[in-house]
Every structure is written in C-alpha cells, then in structure tokens.
Amino acid sequence: MTERLSGSEHGGDAGAVAAALGVDRSSLIDLSMSMNPVAPDVRSVIAGQLDVVADYPDHAAATSALAEVLGVDRSRLVATNGGAEAIALVGSILRVGHVAAPEFSLYERHLESLEATAPRWRSNPSNPLGRLADDVESAAVWDEAFWPIATGTWTNRQLDAGPVWRLGSLTKLWACPGLRLGYVIAPDDRSADLVRRRQPRWSVSSLALAVVEPMLATTDLVKWSRTIADLRSSLATAIEARGFRVTPTDANWILIEGEPGLRERLIPHGVVVRDCTNFGLDNVSRVAVPRPEEFDAVVKAFERAGPT
C-alpha cells in the first residue's frame, strides 16, 4: 500500500491509489498525469464510433486528416499506440542517444545505450521542468507531447529544416490516456518506412483511429492554450497564497518545490500529484492544471494539507 501511495514511475495512478485506500476512483482528482484540462469529453465521440470494432484498423483516413493539420506529407507520418509506442519505435531505430536529465524516463528505457555525443532526445516543453526550448537548442528527436497545449500550434515546423524526428501524443491533447493515440513525424519517407516495418500490425485500434477526424473537428488549439495558461496562472497564485513555493512553467502543470511528502499529504484530501523524485528532483511535485470544475476542490486540498 505504501508503494502505491508513494507513486508510480509515470504518474496517472489514481486508480491504484483508490484501490489501496478502498475508495471509489471518482473520489480522487488525478493531477499526477498532465492532460489537457479543457479537452472535450472524448467518450461522447467514442459512443458514436463503436461499430468500427468489428473491423481491422485502417489508418488511411486518420493519417490523412492528421497530416493535413500537422502540415506534413502523410508519407512521413505514422500513427502510433500512444506517444509511448512512438518513443519505442524511434528508439529501436536510433538505438543510441543522449538524454540530459531531468527528462522523461521512457527515452532511456527504449535506447540500447546513452552517450554524451549521441543524438539528443528532448521533450519540448521539457518534462518535468515544463520549459520550452530556446531557438538555439538542437536535438535529433523532439518529443512534442505538450507542444500544442503550450503554444497553440500543432508542431514546430521550423524543425523541417533539418533531419529531425518529431513525436506527438493525442492522448495528452484530447485527455484520453486509456485510448492510446500518438504519432511519429519522420525526417523523410525512408525513415517513416523503417518505423512502419518495426510497428506491430494493427497496433493502433480501430476505435482510436475512428475518433481522429471528429476530435480534430472540435480542436481549437489557440483557445485551449490561452485558457490553460490562464488556469495555470490562477492555480499558481492560489497555491502560493496558501504558503507553497511554486515554480511556473510553459506547460499544463506547475512545480511545487521544498515540500517533502506533499503527495502523501494531499491524497487524504482527494488530490493525487506527481512526486518528481525519480526525475532526480527531491522534494519537488508536478501538479497538473485541473479541469475548471475541479479547480476549487484542488485549492481547498492544498489549503487543508498546508505547507511544511
């Protein structure tokens, strides 16, 4: 039970916490996973697409629609089973990489070895620090899981000037972690073909592919990004007013520093946050921006937990 309360490597573990406590999952607000807090409810879209589960997946329509909004040739785009599969597939091709800590742990997991002079893997904005890369920074692999949320644009198209990989996560953008939907933008057609040959056939489900076009029709990146920035600012201000030390970010979360055991103190008040110890950041917690209807409950939980 202690292990479940202390947190998983990836976050998003409110279900395990609820099971350990013997409470209903719906009683917990999970801010340990950083999803778009203003995304429309994907469940209503799924409900209208259930007939597709009778057929094998067909990527064509979803890939074309996604390539259009991303502004890339569909021959360079590969839909994946979440951002995690995108990372694993590209890692299997490059094999060796450079990862500058603190950084998302899946890069290291899917690389055979790490070398300081190898091509760099970089999340943008960075996870967990939540900062957008400077214009002078370079990388061979850019993980843009949170880029649309942070910038209000689909991808950093300036990167097309060089042979770089870009990875995306519709799971994060549309707040559907159980559905699993991501993508790889390869540097060229040949590289995209390498990804397709390594990808298990039908790894992306018919249901996930079926929601792409209707969800794209509801997506408003500019509006979402501005709303999230306002919510993030309000959250930081409210939590600072309760005596906590807050570090702002460019992403859909804030960082709280100097608070050992914050996760454990918040759980009894119905909020789960991400302890950043396994990022190498002691006494730091990553707190996702909550949905607007959850905002007051989250602030109240921090007030009750109190700073150390």
> How much of the chain, in percent, has pLDDT values that exceed 70?
96
Among the residues of the chain, which ranges form H helices?
2-6, 14-21, 42-47, 60-70, 82-94, 105-109, 147-151, 170-173, 189-198, 206-210, 212-218, 221-241, 262-266, 295-305
Distance of CA 174 to CAs 39, 182, 227, Å?
Answer: 5, 11, 15
pLDDT at 9 > cutoff 90: no
Q: In the structure, what pLDDT confidence band is assigned to residue 6 with cuts at 50, 70 and 90?
A: low
Q: Each residue of 218-268: pLDDT tens digit?
A: 999 999 999 999 999 999 999 999 999 999 999 999 999 999 999 999 999
Among candidates 232, 236, 249, 245, which has minimal Cα distance to 283?
Answer: 245
Strands 77-80 and 182-185: antiparallel
DSSP string, 46-98: HHT-GGGGGS----HHHHHHHHHHHTS-GGGEEEESHHHHHHHHHHHHH-EEE
Q: Each residue of 36-81: pLDDT tens digit?
A: 999 999 999 999 999 999 999 999 999 999 999 999 999 999 999 9
Q: What is the dihedral of CA 89, 94, 98, 99, to 10 degrees?
A: 0
The token pair at 197 is: 């040959």
Strands 165-169 and 120-123: unpaired
Q: How many CB atoms lie within 10 A of CB 164?
A: 18
Domains within the chain, CATH numbers bracketed: 2-30+221-305 (3.90.1150.10), 42-218 (3.40.640.10)
Q: Check: pTM over 0.85? Answer yes or no.
A: yes
Cα 275 from Cα 282, distance rounded (Å): 8
Cα 67 from Cα 148, distance rounded (Å): 15
Position 135 scores a pLDDT of 86
Position 7 scores a pLDDT of 56
